[in-house]
Chain A
Amino acid sequence: MAGRVAIVGVGQTRHTSRRDDVNLPEMVGEAVRAALADAQLSIKDIEAFIFSNMESFEGILLPDHGMITEVGAIGKPGLKVTGGGTTGSEAVGEACNLVSAGLYDITMVVSWQKHDCGDATAGISAAAVPIAAKGLVVGAVSEFAKQALSYINQSGAREEHAAMVRLKADRCACRNPYAHLRLGLKGVEDYLKSGFLVWPIRLLDFCPQSCGACVVVLASEERAKKIHNKPVWVVDFEVAHQEPFSAGSFGDPTGTETYSQDVAAARLYKRNGITDVRKQVDLAEIYEPSTWEEMSLYEHFHFCEKNEGWKLIEKGVTEIEGEFPVNPSGGVIASNPIGATPVIRIAEAALQIRGDAGEHQVTRDVKTAIATSLGGPNWTAMFLLKRSL
């Protein structure tokens, strides 16, 4: 990138299943105020806005237009991007481009989703080819169910491993004041009590529909150092889209095809001289919509060898106190306001780098972090963040 960009402020709301106390703009306004407070900036300092939201879930056309007053964007430039689950990443990427292109010094990414306004599963089912896939796609759940089956067949992972992933996510979420699902699960028995949605995905295997917003403020190198004493540098990002696999949407049951995660990770790591991820990167906040998907993603992001993702879980490698923490925020399984989730991953990674994550701060010192997102039929976006350049 031409000019260098840093995150100088982050803000989020407490993600929940319902926010009956606020309307959409008010909810988003909370996160905006939080981010401005964190950056110690006033709304006047923000020069451009990039909005991230999946409009189909609230049934709104041009959702950014309704936000303008509450987020302080009247009379300012900006636009909204769409990209399925990766919308937030595209928004941050775009906001970075605007700064590194020299067009603005300070931009703000405003992302949100208020799932109590609509039904996410119906929204996702509507992403299927309108005429050709009617009745076949049961939201994202059925697609992840197929992915889970493939993973079980190929890697030998067992139900206990999915349970362990869920327990880890819940332990982390209980230490994160913003997380949605803080269930206090005690053990595998709690996991086994939850019913199946689409076999083999249980209710506890899958991410919730949350109401929440997340805002990050980005600044050019020149301004970043004056705004925040701990700017987090957005060193690089990579996006890879994907055609649906020939035999699935989120997983390849044949075991023969390449995943977009592998492609994006290979490119990002190569450009940045990363050959041993768990040594050179200190933390990952990944977008894992289901427990099985988390184990599979460990492999695709090269955190471990193929078919060994479940071993990292078994050995506790990815816990908060672990050697390579993954999703200390509780991840997507704990909170999922779709339009905001990728931005939450980036915000959480930034907090960890700053040492500001409070109770869910990891033990390992985080100098370099990865934040990823997943969307559509297995699209991937990956961000590389660093404490210093």
Chain B
Amino acid sequence: MAERVAIVAVAQTKYHPNRADVSEEELAYEAIKQVLEETGLTLSDMESAITCCQDAYDGRTIASLSLQRVVGAHFGHELTVAEDGINAAYVAMAEVLSGHFETVLLVSHMKESQAEKSVIENCAFDAILMRQLGLDYTSAAALQARRYMDRYGITPEQCAKAVVRNRRNARNNPFAQEPMDVTVDDVIGSRMLASPIRLLDTKPISDGACAMIMTTEEKAKKLTKKLVWIAGGSNCYETHYLGDRELADCDALVKAAKKAYSMAGINDPLSQIDVAEISTEYSYQEPLWLEGLGFCGRGEGGKLVDSRTLEMGGQLPVNPSGGVLPGNPNGVAGMARIAEAVLQLRGEAGAGQVEGAKVALAHGYTGICGQHQAVMILANM
């Protein structure tokens, strides 16, 4: 890409099972305040605001109505992206690259505690054909997990290893909701939710918000010495009806990753990427998404999780922040991955720092069994 778009500040609230002490706008403002303080900018300096929230979860038509004041949208521009937070970054990137706006505020928020997640997720399924089956994300994911494991021989133990590593890494993340030392046996012994997904294979209910500020390279240089820019990004859709696609593969992710890699000049992801933050609400998704991202061949995700590659100190540490499994709300997850990737590239990840990280990958998905996938590649200057 000719010009470069920089991310100059990121912030997250500490993820929490129930933020009944704040309203949506107060929750979002906690994160927004931090990025404003860090850069010394004010809401009036923001030319545009991209919010990321879902009407259904907030229980309010035009959910971003709650956020208008705290993003400074009075007589300004605000747009809501109704996908996972990583896509808000894509939209903001286009706004800056097109020259339409110079400084953009992004915020993603969700309070999973205030709504009945299953009921809302059920509304994502086709009203005539699928909704009355009573599916939600977990039961649909169980279908995908079962198909994936049966087709390629991925084992519950391998999925559990992903949980062990993510929950342990979360100990180094001050924003993590539930860091935990668990063993593979703990995971496999936990209560079954929808076979083969068990309680510890998935994440707890979570409330939180993530904010960031994006601007042009030129302006970024005046705001910070630790520059992080977007080297590539893309997203892709799959079919909606579960029976229409091979659930053991994730073609949308393969396509999104390919496009993002080519923009960033990456042809060997495993060696050219230093750290990856991927979104996994269920443990089986880790080996599956890693295949889609090209870190290993099809069906080899289990072997990858077994190896030391993904550990801290390994060739490609995945989720030094702990990722989504210790607790991240849907919708915020992808933007939080970008935030964590930015912290890595700025050398601010504390105990979870991957030494000398120069190129990071952030991933997010939206919808049933990852129907929409998005990838972003970030680099420091």
Q: Is the CB of B371 within 8 A of A65?
A: yes
Is the CB of B128 closer than 8 A to any CB of chain A?
A: yes
Interface-side segment among A6-14, A121-129, A152-160, A284-292: A121-129
**Which of B87, B120, B239 has a CB less than 8 Å from the CB of A69?**
B239
Is the CB of A273 closer than 8 A to any CB of chain B?
A: no
Report if A94-B91 is in contact (Cβ < 8 Å); known contacts: A56-B55, A68-B240, A75-B236: yes
Is the CB of B79 closer than 8 A to any CB of chain A?
A: yes
Q: Which residues of B contact A102 (CB under 8 A)?
A: 1-2, 97
Q: Is the CB of A74 within 8 A of B124?
A: no
Q: Is the CB of B98 within 8 A of A79?
A: no
Nearest Cβ distance between residue A36 and chain B, in whole angstroms? 18
Is the CB of A78 closer than 8 A to any CB of chain B?
A: yes
Is the CB of B259 closer than 8 A to any CB of chain A?
A: yes
Q: Is the CB of A74 within 8 A of B123?
A: no
- Which residue of the partner chain B has the closest CB to A63? B82
Is the CB of A97 closer than 8 A to any CB of chain B?
A: yes
- Which residue of the partner chain A has the closest CB to B101? A97
Is the CB of B65 closer than 8 A to any CB of chain A?
A: yes
Q: Which residues of A contact B349 (CB under 8 A)?
A: none
Q: Which residues of A contact B123 (CB under 8 A)?
A: 59-61
Is the CB of B152 closer than 8 A to any CB of chain A?
A: no
**Which of B59, B240, B259 has a CB less than 8 Å from the CB of A77?**
B259
Is the CB of A62 closer than 8 A to any CB of chain B?
A: yes
- Which residue of the partner chain A has the closest CB to B91? A94
Q: Is the CB of A69 within 8 A of B79?
A: no
- A337 CA to B318 CA in the complex, in Å? 45
Q: Number of contacts between A and B (CB, 8 Å)?
A: 178
- A35 CA to B95 CA in the complex, in Å? 25
- A90 CA to B97 CA in the complex, in Å? 17
Q: Is the CB of B236 within 8 A of A76?
A: yes
Kindly supply a per-residue 1/0 record for chain A positions 93-136, scoring 1 wherever the CB is within 8 Å of any chain B CB and 0 otherwise: 11011101111000000000000010000011011011000000
- A296 CA to B269 CA in the complex, in Å? 57
Nearest Cβ distance between residue B48 and chain A, in whole angstroms? 9
Q: Which residues of A contact B65 (CB under 8 A)?
A: 84, 127, 129, 376-377
Q: Is the CB of A66 within 8 A of B126?
A: yes
Interface-side segment among B66-74, B283-291, B293-301: B66-74
Q: Is the CB of A55 within 8 A of B55?
A: yes
Q: Is the CB of A82 within 8 A of B55?
A: yes
Is the CB of B177 closer than 8 A to any CB of chain A?
A: no
Q: Which B23-68 residues sit within 8 Å CB-CB of chain A? A: 54-56, 59-66, 68
Q: Is the CB of A82 within 8 A of B368?
A: no
Interface-side segment among A208-216, A237-245, A318-326: A237-245
**Which of A65, A100, A263 has a CB less than 8 Å from the CB of B99?**
A100
Q: Which residues of B contact A375 (CB under 8 A)?
A: 62
Q: Is the CB of A103 within 8 A of B97?
A: yes
Report if A241-B60 is in contact (Cβ < 8 Å); known contacts: A1-B100, A2-B97, A62-B82: no
Is the CB of A41 closer than 8 A to any CB of chain B?
A: no
Q: Which B288-332 residues sit within 8 Å CB-CB of chain A? A: none
Report if A77-B366 is in contact (Cβ < 8 Å); known contacts: A68-B238, A83-B80, A127-B65: no
Give me 9 A-to-B residue pairs in the complex whose CB atoms sit less than 8 angstroms apart, sorted by A's number. A61-B120, A61-B121, A66-B240, A68-B371, A75-B255, A126-B60, A129-B66, A130-B60, A240-B76
Chain A contacts to B: CB under 8 angstroms:
1-3, 23, 49, 54-56, 58-62, 64-69, 73-84, 90, 93-94, 96-98, 100-103, 117, 123-124, 126-127, 129-130, 239-243, 258, 260, 263, 375-377
Chain B contacts to A: CB under 8 angstroms:
1-2, 54-56, 59-66, 68-69, 73-83, 87, 90-91, 93-95, 97-100, 120-121, 123-124, 126-128, 234-241, 244, 251-252, 255-256, 259, 366-368, 371-372
